Amino acid sequence: MSDILPDQVGQWQYLERTFQSMVKRYGYEEVRTPLLESTALFTRSVGETTDIVDKEMYSFEHNREALTIRPEGTASVVRAYIEHHVHQQQQLTRWWYGGPMFRGERPARGRYRQFHQFGCELFGDPGPIGDAELIDMLHHFFTSLGIGQLDIVVNCIGDPPTRALYRQVVHDYLMPRKNELSEDSQRRLDRNPLRILDSKDPRDIKAVAGMPSVLDYLTDDERTHFHGVCACLDRLQTPYRVDTTLVRGLDYYTRTVFEVRTQAGQVGAQNALGGGGRYDELVRQMGGPSIPAVGFAVGTERILLAMQSPKLPQPVIVTMTPLGSRAAIESLLIARKLRTHGVHVDLDSRGAAGASIKSMLRRANTLGARLSLVIGESELAAGEVQIKDLLKREQYVVPRANVVARVLEALKAEDAQEGPQAGGAG
Ligand code: HAM
C-alpha cells in the first residue's frame, strides 16, 4: 500500500481527468459504492475457488457480520444495481466508478495490496455491440494516453453449461500430465482447472500447448456472439487477437473476456493494464432480474508505469514576501483578494517570524513564481507594495490600493508573450 505524494498527484489527476472525460462521451454516469461490503457478496460473485476469494481478501468480523474491504468493483456495482431496482427505470444502464481496491497479494512492481481501478459496467445489452464498444473504448483510452505496444486479447469462454463441459475437457486432458504442472496448477486441477490455461509458469504453458480449444465447444449462439464481437472490432479497425487460453481470474464471466497488455514504459511482469468481460448470469445469480451485462476495469498504478510522464501545465504563482508580522497580515489580505481573481498565491509565512528576504526569494524561484510581492517596513509606512517581476528581473513600487490590478495586468502581459501554454492566472 503506497502513499501518493504531491509530486505524483498531478499524474494521477491527469489520468483521472482523461478517463472521466472519455467515459462521459460514451454515456457513462458515475456511481459510488461503499468500500466495505458483506463477505458473501464477493464469495458468491467473484467465486470461492478464485485466488481473490481464496487467499487475497481483507475480511473481518464486526458485530458478528462478515465484512470484506472490496477487492474489485463489479460485485458492488451489481449489488447497487439490484438494490435500487435500476432496471425498472432504465433499459440500458452505463455506470463508471473509480477508487481503491484491496487484495492481499504478494507485492511486486505493478502488483499492490491497495491499488486503484477505474471501471465501466454496461447493463441491459446482450451484445455483441456492447462488448466491442467497450473494447474499442479501452483501446481509445490507452492510445489517448500515448501508451503503445498494446496487446488486446479476446476470447469467448461460453455460458455456464459450455464452461462446465470445457472444464471437464481441461481436467481430463491435464490429469495424466499432472506431474508436469506447476505446484499451484496441480492444486488448481480439481478446484479451478480453467485457470491453469492462463498461468504464466513455463511448465503450465508447455502442458496446455496441445489442449483442445474452448472455441470448439461453443454452442451456435455463443459462436455467433463471438463472431459478432470480432466482426465489430474488425469494422472499427480496433487491433486485437484471439487467444483461447485467456480465462481471467474471476468466476462471473460468460462468453466474451478480454484483457489489454503492454510492455511499454516501466511495466514489468504485471503487464495487464485492464481487463473485463461479459457476465450475463451475475445479476440474476445475485438475486436480481435476468439482465445481461459487460464491463471492464483498468489499474491506475500499472497505467502510470506504462505512461511517459505527460508535461503538465504549471499554474502561474505569485508569492507574498512579508518582512515582519504586520506585513504578513497585510499580505494575507492581499493574497485573499488575488485568489478571488483566480491567481495562485503562495504566502511565505516564515516572513512573519523574521525569515530573510533572500531566503524567501530563493524559495519563490524554486517554486517557479512569476511575481513576488514584498512588503517591508518602508512599504508598510508608505501604504505601498513592491512587485518583483522574477521573470523580467525588474521591480517597481505600487500603491496598496492598486496592487491587485497591477498584478493581474502583469500576469496578463506575460501570458500574452508566452502564449496559452503559460497557464494563465487561473
Ligand atoms: P481484474 O483483472 O481483477 O478485473 O482487475 C482489473 C485491473 O486492475 C487489472 O488489469 C490490473 O490493471 C489492475 N489490478 C488488479 N490487481 C491489481 C493489483 N494487485 N495491483 C495493481 N493493479 C491491479 C476486475 O477487477 C474486474 N472487476 C473487471 C471487470 C469489470 N470485469 C467486468 N467488469
* Digit-coded pLDDT (tens) for 336-384: 999 999 999 999 999 999 999 999 999 999 999 999 999 999 999 999 9
Q: How many CB atoms lie within 10 A of CB 123?
A: 24
Spatial distance between the Cα atoms of 379 and 341, rounded to a whole number of angstroms: 23
Nearest CA to ligand 1 atom 18: 111
For ligand 1, atom 23, which residue shows the shortest CA distance?
A: 299
Residue 155: Cβ-neighbour burial (10 angstroms; 0-12, 13-18, 19+): buried
Cα-based torsion angle of the residue sequence 407, 412, 418, 422 in order, rounded to the nearest 10 degrees: 80
Which of the four pLDDT bands, split at 50, 70 and 90, describes residue 311? Answer: confident
Could you tell me the three cell numbers for 54?
481464496
Is residue 224 within 8 A of residue 166, CB to CB? The reply is no
Q: Taking the C-alpha atoms of 391, 395, 397 and 402 in order, what is their torsion angle to the nearest 10 degrees? A: -20
Mutate which of 96, 101, 141 to test ligand 1's pocket (most atoms within 8 Å of Cβ)? Answer: 101
Q: What is the pLDDT of residues 49-91, one digit of tens each?
A: 889 999 999 999 999 999 999 999 999 999 999 999 999 999 9
CA 235 to chain centre: 28
User: Which ligand 1 atom lies nearest to the CA of residue 105?
Assistant: 19
pLDDT at 417 over 80: no
Q: What whole-number distance in Å separates Cα of residue 85 and Cα of residue 289?
A: 9
Q: Counting atoms of ligand 1 from 1, which one is nearest the CA of 119?
A: 30
Percent of the chain at pLDDT exceeding 90: 89
What residues does 135 pair with on adjacent strands? none
> Which residue ranges have their beta carbon within 6 Å of ligand 1?
72-74, 103, 105, 110-112, 115, 117, 119, 121, 249-250, 272-277, 295-299, 301-302
Nearest residue to 163 via CA among 133, 193, 129, 206: 193
Ligand 1, atom 14: nearest CA belongs to which residue?
Answer: 299
- Per-residue confidence (pLDDT) for residue 316, from 0 to 100: 87
Neighbour count for residue 65 (Cβ, 10 Å): 10
**Cβ-based neighbours of 73, under 8 Å, separated by 6 or more:** 33, 97, 99, 101, 117, 119, 121, 297
Q: DSSP 3-state assignment of 345?
A: strand
pLDDT at 127: 86
Q: Please state the φ and ψ torsions of residue 272, each to the nearest 5 degrees.
A: -85, 110
Mean pLDDT of 316-326: 96
Amino acid, single-letter form, for residue 253: Y
Best probe residue, ligand 1, of 51, 52, 72 (max atoms within 8 Å of C-beta):
72
For residue 213 the three cell numbers come to: 480449444
The atom of ligand 1 lying closest to the CA of 303 is 12
If one counts every other C-beta atom within 10 angstroms of the C-beta of residue 43, the result is 20
9 pLDDT above the threshold of 80: yes
> d(Cα 56, Cα 53) in Å, to the nearest integer?
6
Q: How far apart are CA 199 and CA 22, in angstroms?
A: 33
326: enclosing H helix or E strand: helix 325-340
Q: Please give the pLDDT value at position 418.
A: 56
Angstrom CA distances, 426 to 9, 315, 404, stand at: 19, 7, 14
Question: Three-state DSSP class for 388?
Answer: strand
**What whole-number distance in Å separates Cα of residue 296 and Cα of residue 18?**
16
Based on C-alpha coordinates, what's the Rg of the chain? 28
Mean pLDDT of the region 393-400: 97
125: nearest Cα among 279, 235, 297: 279
| pLDDT greater than 90 at residue 313 | no
Q: 298 C-alpha vs ligand 1 centroid, how far in Å? A: 6
Ligand 1 center to 115 CA (angstroms) = 9
At residue 385, the 3 state secondary structure works out as strand
Q: What is the Å distance from ligand 1's center to 402 Cα?
A: 55
Find the 117 Cα to ligand 1 centroid distance in Å: 7
Helix axes 220-236, 129-144, angle to 10 degrees: 40
